[in-house]
Amino acid sequence: MSSMRSIKIGTRNSPLALWQAREVARNLQNRNYKTDITPIVSSGDKNLTEPLYAMGITGIFTKDLDIALLNKQVDIAVHSLKDIPTQLPKNIEIIAVLKRDYPQDVLVRSAGAKNKELHDLKIATSSLRRRAFWAKTYPDTQFFDIRGNVQTRLQKLEDQEFDATLFSLAAIERMGLPVEYEHLSMMISAPAQGVVAVCGRSDDEEIIELFKEVDHRDTRICIDIERNFLQTLEGGCTAPIGAFAEINEEDEVRFIGRLCSLDGKNCIETDEIFKWNEHENFGEAMAEKVLENGGRELMEEIKSQIS
């Protein structure tokens, strides 16, 4: 590709999304490419009153960028990978992922709840996964809906009647926010959490070729397993699903996956170590085990409760 051309990077305009776009730009500039960041307002950001799962969750944060990409207003779109549906629109693909930094969920308390026990906390989260995984350990918790970007949610934490909320650690660390947080051993991350993804048009060979240099191999292997696990389990329905894979130098992978009922009472888990190779769909295989182990009935139950 001629290094004279400037690569147009589409992004949402929240502070975190802009950080992600700048991180991709930095990767390109290090390879002597010019970049141009183009913020696009997403419908997911325009509607902050309705909980995510009432808005037809699939692709709510990616749709506007998908349209900009397909209309060639931008060359690439940068997303938080956990926001990208496993079913991508026609002619759009994930052409690179950056190295994963902070995959974990963390707890942030309001000033007034510093000394409360975990089981007494009133928790604000609109994530079905976070609610179910929390309720698995603390079944009597009172939950509240909360929406908005990190800064908005931190403000709501001080203004409203709940005690704490859950964030992706990546959001806090990337923004350099001076926030106290606690790690939670009972949480399993959302599939592909903590990963910045670059989407491009499937027919844009120049851009696809260029981003092969940017793509982080080990992260790519892990997120493919996590997303295949998710896709096989949910089949288009949103459910409390956690998945996290780690790989070492010998291509040995440890994978932890979990599917929970909405109230957290019924959970099916898998925790396995295997040698990776490119010919097997490990995520699918592990999801099939969960489905055969009671997951199929559990998914039916979740579908009937959400619809």
Question: What is the spatial distance between Cα 97 and Cα 89, in angstroms, rounded to a whole number?
Answer: 18
* β 6-11/196-201 pair status: unpaired
User: Do the beta carbons of residue 206 and residue 1 sit within 8 Å?
Assistant: yes
- Expressed in angstroms, the distance from the first to the final Cα of the chain is 47
Question: What is the spatial distance between Cα 17 and Cα 151, in angstroms, rounded to a whole number?
Answer: 13
Q: Is 83 a catalytic residue?
A: yes
Written as six digits, the tokens of 103 are 């995959």
Written as six digits, the tokens of 144 are 């509240």
Backbone angles phi, psi at 7, to 5 degrees: -90, 120
- What count of Cα atoms within 13 Å lies in the side-chain half-sphere of residue 52? 19
| Residue 184 Cα distances to 58, 76, 99, 105, 164, angstroms | 27, 35, 23, 7, 13
Backbone angles phi, psi at 262, to 5 degrees: -60, -30
Options 66, 83, 105, 218, the catalytic residue: 83
Question: What is the spatial distance between Cα 56 and Cα 65, in angstroms, rounded to a whole number?
Answer: 17
Closest CA to 4 of 27, 31, 34: 34
| Residue 266 Cα distances to 139, 149, 216, 298, 307, angstroms | 11, 31, 36, 8, 19
Report which residue type is found at 302. Answer: I
Catalytic machinery residues: 83
